[in-house]
Amino acid sequence: MKVKGRKVAIVGMGGTFPNCTDIADFNHKLFDNQSLIREWDQALAYGKNLRSSVSGFITEAEAGLEMVPSAIYEKLPEIYIDKLNRVPDKNLATADVGSIWAMINTLDAIKMAGWSKEETESEQTAVIMASGGPGSSILRAGWDLFFQLGAKSRHGGPHIVDRTMSYREVANVSCLIKNKGISESIISACATGLGNIGHAYRLISYGIQDRAITGGVEATSIEAFAGFDGMMILSRGFSPEESSRPFDKDRNGFVCSFGSGIVALEEYEMAKARGAKILAVIDGYFNNSDGDGDMFYPSFEGQKRLWKGLLSETGIRPDVVKVHGTSTPSGDSIELFGVVSTLGESGYHISAPKSQYGHMLGAAGAVELISSILMLENQKVLPCLNAVNLNPELERFQSNPEWTGTMKPMEAYRDLIPQKSFSKEINHITCLNYGFGGTNSSISISKDY
């Protein structure tokens, strides 16, 4: 349980974002109501074999990286070069692209936090992060080399395992910064990013650690994109900037995107004592499972229990709710009605950052938390782009005799969902993320007073 008096502060952050040079550029484009989603040449190369072709993707060149291919197989990296000299070569040798992003973002977060070498390498500093899946692009190249081309296993080089294992981001970051505290990954589908941050928060609030580098990552992967495209749940038929459209009645799927978000957490009084800038305070974290046995369909009751658990811990009513908001037909309506059933019909606004950069899978919760921190800093609500028309009719599930939620259509809540960024006094934000298998995560953050 929480140790009395142990608060947790967010003191640093870093990220790798689609179509952005750095976090300042990300900040500018978000509050300028821009979309970071583009037509993806890798998807277009497969023609009609893929239904969708838009993504918030990041190329190696855009991240300041260069892949040096194996002399035996050009699709398999021999090494990555950091053209901006941020990460030492020995650390690049064991990393896939996502792990390199995580290392770069970690260095940025630590610099912003102002941690000393001793604090960073302490037994009281944890590394808690993960991605939603394996290093698919490297796995595929390695398997092709062995299974299809008949090469010897050693021809794939010595680093396929460490570049693709589930724990790879933590392993690489921990080896880079040499922390001596807890290092682990929490993998929970599209709730991964927020789940890792929530776990790190608990380690500090329970008195187990004093600091943590934490977040979520999802490296650009046509393999992951193709998997979701095969499920027929990706957006199609719109221009790139109009493809992600949470809550709009014409939404037909999410935009598969990629990125990384890393934050530095610290016990509040320690951060204050050394004069750190407090970006935000974490008021509480709660997670649960739907428990209804459905792998994919969202649970209204599960989300209501999520809200109940978070509010029982914090007692804080948010000024903004940062929703999961994927643009899936059932997901958005269930989520909206869950928010309304908990908070009522006024007094707050809903922000859906996926409308601007798509769904970053394992990185989603972490990048969206950074977006929420930026809302606190800017005192502006980020928009829900493309939520042009909300359904004026009841959803099918609202006619179910077992339905216990609102009997109003989504259109009734138009005023909660802004289509453009606007200024507002923001003291508290609640962030929500969900994942396959019924996993749900929520966190509450506030301005420091």
**Rounded CA gap, 410 and 190, in Å?**
24
* Cα angle 127-162-106, degrees, rounded to a multiple of 5: 30
Q: Decide if 102 contacts 173 (C-beta within 8 A).
A: yes
pLDDT of residue 3: 76
Element (H, E) at 24: helix 23-31
CATH class of 8-396+409-446: alpha beta
Residue type, 146: F
Q: Where are the domains of the chain?
A: 8-396+409-446
DSSP character at residue 148: I
Q: Assign 448 to helix, strand or coil.
A: coil
Q: Where are the beta strands (DSSP E) in 227-315?
A: 259-267, 280-289
Q: How many CB atoms lie within 10 A of CB 440?
A: 27
Q: How far is CA 141 from CA 49, 73, 155, 223, 236, in A?
A: 20, 8, 12, 11, 28
**Rounded CA gap, 239 and 327, in Å?**
15
Q: How far is CA 412 from CA 389, 395, 409, 426, in A?
A: 11, 13, 6, 24
Q: Which residues are catalytic?
A: 190, 324, 359
pLDDT of residue 449: 82
Residue type, 258: F
pLDDT of residue 5: 76
Residue where the block lists tokens 């392993």: 171
pLDDT of residue 149: 93
Q: Assign 230 to helix, strand or coil.
A: helix
Q: Assign 259 to helix, strand or coil.
A: strand
Per-residue pLDDT of 55-81, as tens digits, reads: 999 999 999 999 999 999 999 999 999
Four-residue CA torsion sign, 109, 115, 119, 121: positive
Rg (CA), the chain: 21
Q: Decide if 185 contacts 167 (C-beta within 8 A).
A: yes
Low-confidence ranges of the chain (pLDDT < 50): none
Residue type, 52: S
Q: Decide if 166 contacts 134 (C-beta within 8 A).
A: yes
**Rounded CA gap, 239 and 75, in Å?**
31
Residue type, 261: G
Residue type, 184: E
**Rounded CA gap, 332 and 384, in Å?**
12
**Pairing assessment for the beta strands 38-39 and 280-289 based on DSSP bridges:** unpaired
DSSP character at residue 410: G
Q: Decide if 440 contacts 434 (C-beta within 8 A).
A: yes
Residue where the block lists tokens 């990041």: 58
Residue where the block lists tokens 């993806």: 40
Q: Decide if 287 contacts 129 (C-beta within 8 A).
A: no
